[in-house]
Amino acid sequence: MIWNEAKECMSRDELHELQSKRLVKLVDRVYHNVEYYRKKMQKLGIEPEDIRTVEDVQKLPFTTYEDLNAAYPYGLCAAPLSQIVRVHASSGTTGKSKVATYTRRDIDIWSECVTRALTMAGLTRDDIIQVGYGYGLFTGGLGAHYGAENLGAMVIPMSTGNTKKLITMMIDCQVTAIACTPSYLLHVAEALEAENLVDQVKLKCAICGAEPWTDNMRKQIEERLHIKAYDIYGLTEIMGPGVACDCDYHKGLHIYEDHFLPEIIDPETLKPRKPGEDGELVITTLTKEGMPLIRYRTRDLTSIETEKCECGRTMARIQRFKGRSDDMLVIRGVNVFPSQVEHALLSVAGTTPNYFITVDRVDNNDTFEVAIEVEERFFSDEIRALESLRDRVASAIQQAVGIKARVKLVEPNTLEHSQGKTKHVEDRRKLV
Partner 1 sequence: MIIKQLSVFLENRPGTLVEALGILKEGGVNIVALSLADTNEFGLLRVIVDKPEEAKAAMKARGFTSILNDVLMVHLLDQVGYLEKLVDTVSKAGINVEYMYAAPARKEGADLVMKTSDLEGATRVIKEAFPEAVDWLD
Residues engaged in binding partner 1 (CB under 8 A): 373-376, 379-384, 386-387, 408-414
Query: Which of 217/349 has CB closer to partner 1?
Result: 349
Q: What are the contacts of 186-195 at 24+ separation with CB within 8 A?
A: 186/217, 186/220, 186/221, 186/224, 186/364, 187/163, 187/363, 187/364, 187/365, 188/132, 188/163, 189/220, 189/221, 189/224, 189/225, 190/363, 190/364, 191/163, 191/164, 191/167, 192/167, 192/225, 193/224, 195/167
Query: Which of 137/409 has CB closer to partner 1?
Result: 409
Amino acid at position 8, single letter: E
CB of 360 to partner 1, least distance (A): 17
Q: What are the contacts of 319-328 at 24+ separation with CB within 8 A?
A: 319/252, 320/215, 320/252, 321/212, 321/432, 322/278, 322/432, 323/432, 324/299, 324/300, 325/267, 325/280, 325/297, 325/299, 325/300, 325/301, 326/299, 327/425, 328/299
CB of 392 to partner 1, least distance (A): 16
CB of 133 to partner 1, least distance (A): 33
Query: Which of 52/406 has CB closer to partner 1?
Result: 406
Query: Which of 268/411 has CB closer to partner 1?
Result: 411
Query: Which of 187/408 has CB closer to partner 1?
Result: 408
Query: Which of 175/374 has CB closer to partner 1?
Result: 374
Query: Which of 46/371 has CB closer to partner 1?
Result: 371
**Structural contact between residues 53 and 18, judged by C-beta atoms closer than 8 angstroms:** no
| φ and ψ at residue 272, rounded to 5 degrees | -65, 145
CB of 383 to partner 1, least distance (A): 6
CB of 119 to partner 1, least distance (A): 50
CB of 365 to partner 1, least distance (A): 20
Query: Which of 241/353 has CB closer to partner 1?
Result: 353
**C-alpha Rg value of the chain to the nearest Å:** 23
Side-chain half-sphere exposure of 49, counting CA atoms within 13 A: 0
Distance CA 399, CA 161 (A): 18
